[in-house]
A and B are shown apart, each in its own frame.
Chain A
């Protein structure tokens, strides 16, 4: 018998001359990997990504300011209708331009495009008419509910909208993702919120104007927003933020200040916090992790 003890091996099938609780020096660390696919974030790309949230918040702020003006009758609903119609056409034009420039090599047929346009026109007229005929119903739908409940409900719904909204971007046509459940829920929350708010308005035309505006800003605008390229995004964010602030100034200086604070915090402070917090990242990986199968 040799006196030399064989080195410890990490196997179970062998009966080794070591006690069952033996761990060789450093055996634990050898298989452990810390933060294996760690890609540190840098500040400006994060700011870039947070811009989508800022835009969304600014849209909601604008919507709320418009609602307050409609409610105290300082804004004529007809003006709002014309403004949003104008925005619709501008937006549609931009959409078409983007479609044209981005699908340059796509080679889709002319006929199908025209068909699609006709479809869009038909459905927008349909929605326009449906909203118009439904607005008396929408106005009285939750009229019996007290105002306190309405404010609370709409605040909750907008919160839901903000939390679930799809902030990703799909700049190319090819990657147009299917709508996820959360983003659909988010859109519905925003529309429901504007429906309950509409019950506080005094006439049908105002209700129609508000709902139409909400449909544009919460369903159509995000679609357009996602398609925009980087420099346009920055410009759009700036424009939206400034207009939300300008609209809020005559209402209340506190609210304006609050809006400004939120927008700045989301755009500039939150990315900085995330970059700072990365030093606490401690992800442990080892052979026990579920492997990811690679299938060709």
Chain B
């Protein structure tokens, strides 16, 4: 494929830490390695992450001055992003934008504006949402409005795809008789990956104690109630079991109380918050990884644990059943008895020596690889670039079909956006812009830093 210029847009990016942030960085780095030019557009983190920054390997990051409202997301306001985005996309000669995460309003706005500059759009959804509460209903409608005119959608798991298709109304009436609803052909599934080199299994140490590792945010959604209920039972049933719990959150108190109540201070070790760099060193201290999440789109933590050679016990929720073959993971229904059963089975399996960490690591290494993910994403970009762009009238008719009330509202936003764009074309003409002519030169960087 011809090298193209890609802009990743998301509210969530470095220096924040998380699944989406890591995904964007790794994908960008691998796309750069394949010869594409990639920039990232996100909001600023005052006082020090403002303006334009470079990250290795030659990833340019635009930190735009937007104020965040909650958990690192900006307020959706539909128009204020356009002046910045127009300037950046034109200066950088961007062909395609790739927006991430359905709660990132920067990403939504990017998809809304890009067609004005003739830039193509791809969207990646990272999370699962329900349909029942008021917040979900509102964000789902917002998502449906945005995804009406997107060129391609990527989901991180098959369960995630089902969810996104329903939330974003990404299906069409087929032409056969009687008409059926068919999922649009521009919805792809490309999983996350992990850097398997960073999760080498540790050396085997012969000892009778088996350590169960739990690494998670200690919150309700991560099923800490199940952990609190089962840990004392496991400790009582197996005297050679120790627990290692890493993470912080509102449910920490429950864990502390449980430990106090059952006098398990010497069996359950609480490590507090763990930096991502230290995850491996915690993982290799144990041989079983326990995940009690109540909802999980992909479950990268499980993958990291499996890669580090741990046997995994997890609740059967969301996309977790898809990520590993059945013989590397034990599933439990989200109730106390079944989690206890699954952990007991895992303990007997591990103590019988039937789980080989080195072999597990080799297998996971083959399953997931960022270079492969970047290749598959590039194929999506290629398909998008080849396809014809929708014209404005097509966009208006598609938007109007969104619903009796939502349709006209989104159409008005679309039209006002066009007028705003025309105003900007007159106010800040393209001829006056400073175009980017110099790109990252890794050889020069290497020679310049050699002396340091």
Which residues does A use to contact B, with CB under 8 Å?
10-14, 20-21, 23, 27-28, 31-32, 283-284, 286-296
A21 to B184, CA, bound (A): 9
B398-424 interface code vs A (CB 8 A; 1 in, 0 out): 000000000000000000000000000
What 19 additional pairs, Cβ within 8 angstroms, besides A28-B165, A284-B131, A296-B336? A11-B325, A12-B157, A12-B158, A12-B319, A12-B367, A13-B322, A20-B190, A20-B376, A20-B379, A23-B161, A28-B183, A31-B159, A286-B166, A291-B315, A291-B317, A293-B292, A293-B336, A294-B335, A295-B335
Q: Which residues of B contact A287 (CB under 8 A)?
A: 159, 162, 317-319
Q: B221 interface residue, CB < 8 Å from A?
A: yes
Q: B441 interface residue, CB < 8 Å from A?
A: no
Checking A11, A32, A288 against B128 with a beta-carbon cut-off of 8 angstroms, the contacting residue is: A288
Q: B189 interface residue, CB < 8 Å from A?
A: yes
State how many angstroms separate the Cβ of B222 from the closest Cβ of chain A.
10
Q: Which residues of B contact A32 (CB under 8 A)?
A: 162, 166
Q: Does B335 lie within 8 Å of A293, measured CB to CB?
A: yes
A289 to B295, CA, bound (A): 7
- Among A28, A286, A293, A295, max chain B CB count under 10 A is at A293
A-B pairs, 4 with minimum CB distance: A294-B335, A288-B128, A13-B367, A20-B188
Provided the pairs A21-B188, A288-B163, A290-B294 are in contact, do residues A10 and B158 lie with their beta carbons within 8 angstroms? yes
Q: Does B223 lie within 8 Å of A293, measured CB to CB?
A: yes
A31 to B163, CA, bound (A): 10
**Please, could you name 26 A-B residue pairs with CB atoms under 8 Å apart, sorted by A?**
A11-B323, A11-B325, A12-B157, A12-B158, A13-B322, A13-B323, A13-B324, A20-B379, A21-B186, A21-B187, A23-B161, A23-B187, A27-B158, A287-B159, A287-B317, A288-B129, A288-B130, A288-B159, A288-B163, A290-B294, A293-B223, A293-B226, A293-B292, A293-B294, A295-B229, A295-B336
Beta-carbon nearest neighbor of A294 in chain B: B335
Beta-carbon nearest neighbor of B187 in chain A: A21
Q: B202 interface residue, CB < 8 Å from A?
A: no
Q: Which residues of B contact A292 (CB under 8 A)?
A: 294, 334
Q: B447 interface residue, CB < 8 Å from A?
A: no
B281-301 interface code vs A (CB 8 A; 1 in, 0 out): 000000000001011010000
Q: Does B131 lie within 8 Å of A283, measured CB to CB?
A: yes
State how many angstroms separate the Cβ of A24 from the closest Cβ of chain B.
10
Q: Does B322 lie within 8 Å of A10, measured CB to CB?
A: yes
Checking B186, B322, B335, B368 against A11 with a beta-carbon cut-off of 8 angstroms, the contacting residue is: B322
State how many angstroms separate the Cβ of A162 from the closest Cβ of chain B.
22
State how many angstroms separate the Cβ of B328 from the closest Cβ of chain A.
9
Which residues does B use to contact A, with CB under 8 Å?
128-132, 157-163, 165-166, 183, 185-191, 221, 223, 225-226, 229, 292, 294-295, 297, 315, 317-319, 322-325, 334-337, 367-368, 376, 379-380
A222 to B4, CA, bound (A): 71
Q: Which residues of A contact B334 (CB under 8 A)?
A: 291-294
Interface of A is mostly: loop
Provided the pairs A288-B318, A291-B315, A291-B334 are in contact, do residues A13 and B162 lie with their beta carbons within 8 angstroms? no
Beta-carbon nearest neighbor of B298 in chain A: A12
A293 to B132, CA, bound (A): 18
Beta-carbon nearest neighbor of B380 in chain A: A20
Q: Does B189 lie within 8 Å of A20, measured CB to CB?
A: yes
State how many angstroms separate the Cβ of B123 from the closest Cβ of chain A.
14
Q: Which residues of B contact A288 (CB under 8 A)?
A: 128-130, 159-160, 162-163, 295, 297, 318
State how many angstroms separate the Cβ of A23 from the closest Cβ of chain B.
5
A23 to B170, CA, bound (A): 13
Checking A12, A23, A28 against B323 with a beta-carbon cut-off of 8 angstroms, the contacting residue is: A12
Q: Does A293 lie within 8 Å of B225, measured CB to CB?
A: yes
A23 to B188, CA, bound (A): 9
State how many angstroms separate the Cβ of A12 from the closest Cβ of chain B.
4
Q: Which residues of A contact B317 (CB under 8 A)?
A: 287, 291
Beta-carbon nearest neighbor of B293 in chain A: A291
A20 to B158, CA, bound (A): 10
Beta-carbon nearest neighbor of A282 in chain B: B131
Q: Which residues of B contact A284 (CB under 8 A)?
A: 131, 166
A272 to B186, CA, bound (A): 45
A21 to B315, CA, bound (A): 27
Checking B157, B183, B292, B318 against A23 with a beta-carbon cut-off of 8 angstroms, the contacting residue is: B183
Q: Which residues of B contact A290 (CB under 8 A)?
A: 130, 221, 294-295
State how many angstroms separate the Cβ of B319 from the closest Cβ of chain A.
8
Q: Which residues of A contact B129 (CB under 8 A)?
A: 288
- Among A12, A28, A284, A292, max chain B CB count under 10 A is at A12
A28 to B226, CA, bound (A): 30
A13 to B319, CA, bound (A): 12
Q: Which residues of B contact A296 (CB under 8 A)?
A: 229, 336-337
Q: Which residues of B contact A293 (CB under 8 A)?
A: 223, 225-226, 292, 294, 334-336
Q: Which residues of B contact A286 (CB under 8 A)?
A: 159, 162-163, 166
Provided the pairs A28-B162, A31-B162, A288-B130 are in contact, do residues A13 and B325 lie with their beta carbons within 8 angstroms? yes
State how many angstroms separate the Cβ of B237 from the closest Cβ of chain A.
15
Q: Which residues of B contact A283 (CB under 8 A)?
A: 131-132
Q: Which residues of A contact B223 (CB under 8 A)?
A: 291, 293
State how many angstroms separate the Cβ of A92 from the closest Cβ of chain B.
43
Q: Which residues of B contact A295 (CB under 8 A)?
A: 225-226, 229, 335-336
Beta-carbon nearest neighbor of A22 in chain B: B189
Checking B191, B318, B337 against A12 with a beta-carbon cut-off of 8 angstroms, the contacting residue is: B191
Beta-carbon nearest neighbor of A11 in chain B: B322
Q: Which residues of B contact A14 (CB under 8 A)?
A: 325, 367
Q: Which residues of A contact B292 (CB under 8 A)?
A: 293
A221 to B336, CA, bound (A): 43
State how many angstroms separate the Cβ of A199 from the closest Cβ of chain B.
39
Q: Which residues of A contact B130 (CB under 8 A)?
A: 288-290
State how many angstroms separate the Cβ of B175 from the closest Cβ of chain A.
16
Q: Which residues of B contact A28 (CB under 8 A)?
A: 162, 165, 183
